[in-house]
Amino acid sequence: MTAGWRGYFDWFPDYSIEITDTIKGVNCLALFGFASGTFKGKQSETWRLPVAWKATVKHGRVTLWQVFADTKIPFEIIERNAVQNPER
């Protein structure tokens, strides 16, 4: 997982999340907001999309972590840039 995130931050060094709403349950937490990033600093390759996160907690530990987002736009940006730069 660490290697995957390192690669993602290489592609989108300014990747960020913005939490706009939080719902707390007894053993559950739901977060709503946005994720965004810019592919390697190219302003023409910027995205921002709505995201929801869900965490289930048992005995003080996260037992389930889910992310709900349509990641089509960032993956299209990655693919488009991979075609332009096949050595990477």
Question: What are the structure tokens assigned to 72, written together?
Answer: 């089509």
pLDDT surpassing 60 at residue 87: no
Structural domain span for residue 12: 2-84
| pLDDT confidence of residue 72 | 95
- pTM: predicted TM-score of the whole model, two decimal places: 0.82
Looking at residue 41, which CATH number applies to its domain?
Answer: 3.10.450.50
Angle at 53 between CA 35 and CA 60, to 5 degrees: 130
pLDDT surpassing 60 at residue 80: yes
Residue with tokens 């730069």: 85
* Per-residue pLDDT reduced to its tens digit, 51-79: 999 999 999 899 999 999 999 999 999 99
Phi, psi for 77 (deg, rounded to 5)? -65, -45
Domain count, the chain: 1
| pLDDT confidence of residue 17 | 96
Query: By three-state DSSP, how is residue 79 classified?
Result: helix
Burial class (CB in 10 A: 0-12, 13-18, 19+), 74: buried
* Per-residue pLDDT reduced to its tens digit, 10-56: 999 999 999 999 999 999 999 999 999 999 989 999 999 999 999 99
